[in-house]
Structure 1
Amino acid sequence: MKIVIYIYHGLTMLDAIGPYEVLRNIPNAEVLFVAEKKGDIIADSKFVHLNARFEIEEINEADILVIPGSTITFMREIKNVSVMNWIRKINKTTKWTTSVCSGSIILAATGLLNGLEATSHWKPMGLLKKFGAIPKSERFVDQGKYLTAAGVSAGIDMALYLSNKIVGETKTKAIQLFIEYDPSPIYNSGNYSRAEKEVIENAEMILLEEAKKEPKLFQQIKRTTPKPKEYVQHGV
């Protein structure tokens, strides 16, 4: 089973690595990290790199396509005609086309989610409407061959759900145990609907500081939207 994870500069690392850790354990899985151009891909933190051994021109098919999100550079990806066309082409061959976090905005920008429900990170959720998708605040959303996951860590849940479709309950439980995925956070603030106002404001400041790590793109967005609505809260 060929699993293609599309990576790009500024991606959020766990968006790609979370699903990878689950899906690589499916029997006969072949996982490829693919970028527009092969080489080192720098994460949004600027601390970690991933190496893309393949570029999009070399990959014409996949059983599963995973599109990770990012703090801000997903806005650049949706304007990249080559990438948009490649996703549409690969989608014709996939059994499942998936996304994590703001990766759903990239997927929606291709038009493939038009009229379908989808989720994303809570901050850019409303952008799904712009591209014809129907925002839904869920951990992950199943729309047939399209699976979209909410922010960052939700990619693990989505990948386990997909694994269950492919190899069934016992094997998927074994994968979950292998990676010891048994979340028990010290706070119950991981969902926008439960988080206090002060917590949300602090989270927004973290996002803002992360976005500033891409100064050219950040300034471009500020110029085109006086009050940055590229980051709109929870479907507003």
Structure 2
Amino acid sequence: MLVHLRGPDKTISYLGCAVQLYIFLGLGAAECVLLLVMAFDRYVAVCRPLHYTVIMQPHVCHKLALLVWASGIFGTLVQSPTTMELPFCHHHQVDDFVCEVPALIRLACGDTHSNELQISVIGSVFLMVPLLLILISYGHIARTVLAIQSHEGRRKAFQTCSSHLAVVFLFYCTVTAVYIQPRSHFSQKGGKFLTLFYTVVTPTLNPLIYTLRNKDMKGALKRLFGKDRTSNVQ
């Protein structure tokens, strides 16, 4: 996608589009489950801190990592083949930045009701169900945090969850708008912007969001911006 945005050639082969779709869906589905796993990790860290090392043992972490990748593989193998089998129109102009399911459904000239139903079901399984479980886990976390008496304890609990909450908000707000109603007027007009946002902007921000709690990272940012202000004054 970045190569196509940079150069004058905006074409992609059928095989390249299929590979892009498989990888795109696989990583997207894995991201949904990964955010759920991270929410479970936060729940254990805040609500069961004394049992954290017992619950989150290495073999449990390995199983959770396997679950993430298995979910990604399952999600892409279910949806990608049926999408690429659609009867596409002769102009073959994908109205998007990347070969994703909503754009390819809009490109099809045949009946796409079954594909739209499939994307709604898959979207509910990989988007709404993990989001619901994440909200439930944070409901328990909020109740535990409110029961903490010390201000320092509340601050530490908030810092533990703030970065994950920010990523969940950025990811789910954009992906849900595109995949829950792939044929809607909103998804056709604003879908390309949202696709570019959760494909490029969100992954770019993730490293910064997750490292804001790191003292070395904070110190480097302070030195960087402090140096810029000093340079401007001089």
TM-score normalised by the chain length of structure 2 = 0.28
Structure ranking higher in strand proportion: 1
Higher relative contact order, structure no. (Cα contacts within 8 Å, ≥ 6 residues apart): 2
Report which of the two structures shows the higher radius of gyration computed on alpha carbons.
2
Structure ranking higher in helix proportion: 2
TM-score normalised by the chain length of structure 1 = 0.28
